[in-house]
A and B are shown apart, each in its own frame.
Chain A
Amino acid sequence: MNRRSFFKLSWGTVGVGALVSALGVSFAAILRFLKPNVFYEPPQAFKIGTPGDFPFGAPTFLVEEKIFIFRDREKGFSAASAVCTHLGCTVAHFQSDQKFHCPCHGSVFGADGAAQHGPAPRALDWFEVTLARDGQLRVDKDKVVPSSYRLMV
């Protein structure tokens, strides 16, 4: 390779490299731009009312939060996610068989949330329930707990 073609090649490489990296950086910036920094969504931890608001027996379904609140006479409070682990439809709790049924592709979850039937790959989540200082129940959806978790009040 002579001097002339060496320069031609190296300037060419520098030029193409600069163009590609400029385009790459701009494109990456656009992708990053599309990812929100703040989600204006309901908080993951929230208060749901006092223990007395919840009946024994059939679970209470909280519409906005998409959770079931169970209150058991001996064992206490627990909160189950109503979001199907398959593709996110909202499951219904049937009193007849004490199971959760998903309307979308027919997944069935047992009383403890375990996936029993259908395409759901894993059990429904159970969330931590605590008692806040002001006497209200507080659910934290970021804290997943075993299905045996209960809050005694």
Chain B
Amino acid sequence: MNLFREIWQSIVRRDPLSTDKGKSELVFLNVWLHIHPAKVKKENMKFRHSFYLGFITFFLFLILVTTGIVLMVYYRPFPPQAYQDMKDLEFVVFMGPFLRGMHRWAAHGMVVCVFLHMCRVFYTGSYKKPRQFNWVVGVFLFLLTLGLSFTGYLLPWDQLAYWAITVGSNIGSYAPLVGGQLREWLLGGHSVGEAALVRFYVLHVAVLPAAMILFTIVHFWRVRKDGGLSRPIWKLAPPKAAPLVTIGAPAASAAPLKASAASSTKTYGLMEVVTGKPIFETITPEEEEDTVFSYPYAFVREAVALMVTVTGIMMMSLFFHAPLEELANPAKTPNPAKAPWYFLGLQELVSHSAMLGGVVAPALMVLALLAIPYIDRNPSRRPSDRKWAIWLFTLFVVINLVLIVVGTFFRGPGWALVPPWVHVVGGAE
């Protein structure tokens, strides 16, 4: 019995969780948990503050990595085997449709959640000082999410995949100067073919996930180093004028610090003394009282979010199958041919002008997103102080949604405007 205890102790090395010391040590002696603070502000754990959207996005990513690795075992990235492997997954592999479904729905869910998370961060004004750079990291995470979805879309090598990627990659060739090169470089050829499939596969299973993991690490580190989640400070009780405690050398004129004997029951360690103000948001001693230990409060909430996410995606996959059309046929364009739904807003713009809609508008959109924290100089996070910012961002969200809805539901054969309740038989010829 003692041996087991010793083994266990050698792994966790912390005091029992019934003690405050144990609760803290659980967090900071564990490499996976120590991204959390030992204590969190109650305010930050409220569901209504973050809707846990960042967590949910991350959990969806975990589902994608897990199911993706299993799918890789049955997938060969060459046409037409790629398509046969999809058929195998649908009809032969144990729980194949369920696995495909999980991967597909988690991917769609991730695009939705990352966008909602971005909206939440914007509306709470959480991109403001000191979090400007984490917003920028976030924009890259958003682009990586889209990139992963887009590269994954080609892999089934069915009609849907083939034409979505043909249209999507042709948009890139309108980019001035580098456009043609860019397309050749991405596709490894002049049209979507074998070389393109291998390239997309490598991007999808190696390059982009690796980039995603690196950026996610920076993102989480920054959330922590920026002082945790932003809080609606205006709702909190104003801090009492607490006497300022300065750590560091006393001024030359002041009396020297009085030395007192060190306690023999405590262990002291001096890490480093530096002067200057911290860049992150600090909390006052009163606010300190408003915190609880991460264990169990924060961890339980995160575990619940994880369970809800996994269960939700599992339920989806039980009831809905990931679509699979017929084998890709370069000669026959389906009518209408549509890009993945999150790019349909773009395709809608592209249906008016490829250069403006496919290159200029998205480039401006990304630049604007990146620049938000540096353009918006208003330091207040309080909604009533930032009506303009909120209006503009809402406009941006609504325009995107409208374009996507029009592209998805209101475009029929030949990209003609057809409301969804009209049923077109066969299309023209």
Residues of A that sit less than 8 Å from B by CB: 31, 34-36, 39-41, 61, 63-64, 66, 86-90, 92, 94, 96, 101-106, 118-119, 121
Judging by beta carbons under 8 Å apart, are B189 and A39 in contact?
yes
Asked if B354 is an interface residue, CB under 8 A from chain A, the answer is yes
Q: Which residue of the partner chain A has the closest CB to B171? A: A87
List residues of B (155-180) whose CB comes within 8 Å of A's CBs. Answer: 163, 166-167, 170-171
**Contacts A36-B195, A90-B333 given; does A101 touch B190 at CB 8 Å:** no
Shortest Cβ distance from residue A66 to the other chain B in the assembled complex, whole angstroms: 7
Judging by beta carbons under 8 Å apart, are A88 and B170 in contact?
yes
Out of B166, B414, B429, which one reaches A87, CB within 8 Å? B166
Judging by beta carbons under 8 Å apart, are A105 and B350 in contact?
yes
Q: Can you report 21 A-B residue pairs in the complex whose CB atoms are below 8 A from each other?
A: A31-B185, A36-B195, A41-B189, A41-B191, A64-B331, A87-B170, A89-B166, A89-B167, A89-B333, A90-B332, A90-B333, A101-B414, A102-B333, A102-B414, A104-B415, A105-B351, A105-B415, A118-B415, A119-B353, A119-B354, A121-B354
Judging by beta carbons under 8 Å apart, are B352 and A119 in contact?
yes
Count contacts on B: residues with CB < 8 A to the other chain.
Answer: 37
Q: Which residue of the partner chain B has the closest CB to A31? A: B185
Complex CA gap A105/B348 in Å reads 8
Asked if B364 is an interface residue, CB under 8 A from chain A, the answer is no
Judging by beta carbons under 8 Å apart, are A88 and B335 in contact?
no
Judging by beta carbons under 8 Å apart, are A89 and B428 in contact?
no
Complex CA gap A94/B335 in Å reads 14
**Contacts A86-B354, A88-B170, A119-B352 given; does A36 touch B189 at CB 8 Å:** yes
Say whether chain B's binding surface is mostly helix, strand, loop, or mixed: loop
For B358, the chain A residues whose CB sits under 8 A away are: 87
Shortest Cβ distance from residue B335 to the other chain A in the assembled complex, whole angstroms: 3
Judging by beta carbons under 8 Å apart, are B184 and A35 in contact?
yes
Complex CA gap A63/B415 in Å reads 23
Q: Which residue of the partner chain A has the closest CB to B417? A: A106
Asked if B413 is an interface residue, CB under 8 A from chain A, the answer is yes
For B163, the chain A residues whose CB sits under 8 A away are: 89, 104
Out of B188, B189, B195, B331, which one reaches A66, CB within 8 Å? B331
Q: Which residue of the partner chain B has the closest CB to A64? A: B331
Judging by beta carbons under 8 Å apart, are A88 and B166 in contact?
yes
List residues of B (116-170) whose CB comes within 8 Å of A's CBs. Answer: 163, 166-167, 170
Q: Which residue of the partner chain B has the closest CB to A84? A: B333
Complex CA gap A11/B310 in Å reads 56
Complex CA gap A41/B415 in Å reads 31
Asked if B336 is an interface residue, CB under 8 A from chain A, the answer is yes
Judging by beta carbons under 8 Å apart, are B190 and A103 in contact?
no
Shortest Cβ distance from residue B189 to the other chain A in the assembled complex, whole angstroms: 5
Further contacts, 8 of them, CB under 8 A, given A39-B195, A106-B415: A35-B184, A36-B189, A66-B330, A66-B331, A90-B331, A92-B429, A104-B336, A118-B351
Judging by beta carbons under 8 Å apart, are A103 and B193 in contact?
no
Judging by beta carbons under 8 Å apart, are A106 and B333 in contact?
no
Complex CA gap A38/B163 in Å reads 24
Out of A34, A39, A61, A87, which one reaches B185, CB within 8 Å? A34
Shortest Cβ distance from residue A62 to the other chain B in the assembled complex, whole angstroms: 9
Shortest Cβ distance from residue A80 to the other chain B in the assembled complex, whole angstroms: 15
For B429, the chain A residues whose CB sits under 8 A away are: 92, 94, 96
Judging by beta carbons under 8 Å apart, are B415 and A90 in contact?
no
For B336, the chain A residues whose CB sits under 8 A away are: 103-104
For A61, the chain B residues whose CB sits under 8 A away are: 331
For B322, the chain A residues whose CB sits under 8 A away are: none
Judging by beta carbons under 8 Å apart, are B167 and A39 in contact?
no
**Contacts A41-B189, A89-B163, A94-B429 given; does A103 touch B335 at CB 8 Å:** yes
Complex CA gap A39/B184 in Å reads 10
Shortest Cβ distance from residue B161 to the other chain A in the assembled complex, whole angstroms: 14
Judging by beta carbons under 8 Å apart, are A106 and B414 in contact?
yes
One digit per residue, 1 when the CB lies within 8 angstroms of any chain A CB and 0 when it does not, for chain B 304-341 equals 00000000000000000000000000111111110000
For A96, the chain B residues whose CB sits under 8 A away are: 429
Shortest Cβ distance from residue A105 to the other chain B in the assembled complex, whole angstroms: 4
Q: Which residue of the partner chain A has the closest CB to B427? A: A103
